[in-house]
Structure 1
């Protein structure tokens, strides 16, 4: 029952779960009695829940629900919903919950393990491979900012380590780094340790997990291929959906000060969990450990606050702006001007600039290009080429969304647009009269 990314939280909408759990097909009728299911849930909680004082209140709530007939339903999804509601009312724990997933339950029933350190078995290996071990996107942004979109701290062992190492090798070549955890629902502390070790010196204690009655589990930064990534600005994007292992990583960003958090406060799901097969095709997540950071704190129920607070949908633009401004401050001449322009474009994405004239005044033909108004915005398209939205950077000055380094300047007289001047990234200009 070893859990990876999708095992970290099954209840909260803030946390990633498998596609099968998010969009289930119509469920068949329950194949066991509700009493069998509930008793198995109660047993797992009594034996494993991380906070001993909460075990009995949880058990009592489930016993009351069973005795009252609240769980006398044939739809397994409805049964899971009612059990989750009753557990949440007691514990409000984002790692405690159950969902209906016969396939995963069957895999867990094979006894693949009992913790979230390593996921074993063909099912888990295939899931990790399909999702590239959580590394969903690597992209070069303006100014040689390297973006890693990391959607889950998935861990199956060497293959997951290799995926993280490859992502880190890509990031290392950047002049600035952005790591996007806005949709990262958590995963394995082993994956966290691997990625953090590219920014924190080997041997540094990262976190101690207090696991039930077991000895504490201490995570320490390790040596990684190529050594530390240093000397470049690092920005990590967060949202209320960034949870569990993603919050551990965010805590290290703030605690070791190797980067800046940008976005929203994280989910506040601090506990570690195990997943269990429950009769009837259910999967139960139970919190079995609590974290302790080097300063004695954790993030349970409060989350990790960003250094730059901004709505999560604007976090990437805000991080790019900050990175570009930092790079521009160190640059000279044309390079500095290009970086400053790129930063202005990101500012305009966040805070739109009002054009000097009504949008319809800009619409028309300019030689081989057409400017149109669609959905309240200007778009430009060269004959036979892709259409790009125009972003107002100044009242008559725009950037192309598809090519932000290119600038479109409109000339006007007596309230009418007369021409368009296109300045490309290489400095060349083309002026076209408006038809």
Structure 2
């Protein structure tokens, strides 16, 4: 069983990894270790950890992993079954949207822990944005966001731009050799969120598509990032079952930001304001309330904002 899993993993690695030379180097080392008995007698968790250690040691790619499959996808072996399991998981997790709230002082707050594929989660994203559409400033909490779908990132970030004229990202696909451009969308359900400050909260957990949302908006000067440097995974990835209980995640493409000419792979996204992740919300909320106090005209709203500032920890 272990040898079958290893060979299938290495075959997928060499066929699909975005950097073929690195894949070949890693495969050679893993086969040598296997032949020397390094993986004999390991359970699935330990085998996955040992293989991942070699893969990441050579490729330095945090998306590249061999691991046990989650209980909810163990019967999903075909592409159709995997997609169905993914969509079910998204629905169960409310499409990654853990919380939507209007905070005191008319500041919007979104706790987003996964970026759904727009074809599945677009209605949920639109609903969340509708609920904060009339706030004076917005905080998007990505401190627990572990990734998602590139087209979901484009759908969500399009709400912060006026039209379809903003070039947000490019993705180079290794198998086809083609580069796809991603631009802001011409049409969105509901209102766009324009001309108001947006704060993104980050941590060292923030990963993959969550990082892309941060990187795209930061590169365009459309949001202020507050918190800690993110984890550093920029390569779009596919999941391949090796058995009903094991899988490999293989980066099959790479992002190229049209503003910076590069991405956040290995470095993470560095916030504009570096504070401990646990302090990021208080900092961003204070800044949002300062904006409300500087621009608000309603006496009731200004009183509400002042009371909210008074309740925050000392700066």
Normalised-by-shorter TM-score class: over 0.9
C-alpha displacement of 1:338: 4.4
* Whole-Å separation in 1 of the counterparts to 2:289 and 2:191: 25
CA offset at residue 344 of structure 1?
A: 3.8
Which 5+ residue runs of structure 2 have no aligned equivalent? none
- Alignment of 1:327 with 2:292, yes or no, is yes
Alpha-carbon shift at residue 236 of structure 1 (Å):
0.8
Which of the two has higher C-alpha Rg? 1
Equivalent residue, structure 2, for 1:133: 95
1:346 has 2:312 as partner: yes
Q: Tell me the distance in 1 between the aligned counterparts of 2:263 and 2:107.
A: 31
**1: CA distance between counterparts of 2:28 and 2:303?**
66
- What are the superposed Cα offsets for residues 37-61 of structure 1, whole Å, 9 maximum, x if unpaired? 1101110111011112211111112
Q: 1:254 offset after TM fit, Å?
A: 0.8
Q: CA deviation at 1:337?
A: 5.1
Are 1:205 and 2:167 counterparts? yes
Change (3 A) 1:133 1:338: closer
1:164 is displaced (CA, Å) by 0.3
Gaps of 5+ in 1: 1-31, 114-118, 352-435
Moved segments of 4+, more than 6 Å: none
Say if 1:103 and 1:281, in contact at 8 Å, map to a contact too: no
Query: Aligned ranges for residues 256-271 of structure 1 at < 5 Å?
Result: 256-271=220-235
Report the Cα distance in structure 2 between the residues aligned to 1:336 and 1:36, rounded to whole angstroms: 66
Matches within 5 A, 1:149-164: 149-155=111-117, 157=119, 159-164=120-125
Matches within 5 A, 1:406-417: none
Larger proportion of strand = 1
* Alignment length (residue pairs): 309
Matches within 5 A, 1:35-114: 35-101=3-69, 104-107=73-76, 109-112=77-80
Instruction: Tell me if the contact between 2:133 and 2:191 (Cα under 8 Å) persists in the aligned partners.
Output: no
Normalised TM-score (structure 2): 0.92
| Structure 2 counterpart SS, 1:252 | helix
Q: Distance in 1 between matches of 2:56 and 2:74?
A: 22
Tell me the C-alpha RMSD between the 2 structures. Answer: 1.9
1:241 equivalent to 2:202? Answer no
Preserved contact between residue 96 and residue 284 of structure 1 (Cα < 8 Å): yes
1:226 maps to what in 2? 190
- Can you list the C-alpha shifts for 1:67-117, whole angstroms capped at 9, x where unaligned? 11111125111111111122122122110001112652531x21239xxxx
Query: Paired residue for 2:139, among 178, 181, 203?
Result: 178
Aligned partner of 2:278 in structure 1 is 313
Give the structure with the larger helix fraction: 2
Partner of 1:167: 128
- 1:99-153 residue CA offsets vs partner (Å, 9 max, x unmatched): 112652531x21239xxxxx722x2222111111111111121101111100001
- Relative contact order: is structure 1 or structure 2 higher (C-alpha 8 Å, sep ≥ 6)? 2
Distance 1:335 1:77, change over 3 A: closer
What is the match of residue 364 of structure 1?
none
Q: Does the 8 Å CA contact 1:95/1:285 hold for their aligned counterparts?
A: yes
- The residue number in structure 2 matching 1:276 is 240
Equivalent residue number for residue 304 of structure 1: 269
Q: Secondary structure at the match of 1:120?
A: helix
Q: Secondary structure at the match of 1:172?
A: coil
Alignment CA distance shift 1:196-1:156 (3 Å): closer
Shift in Å, 1:65? 1.8
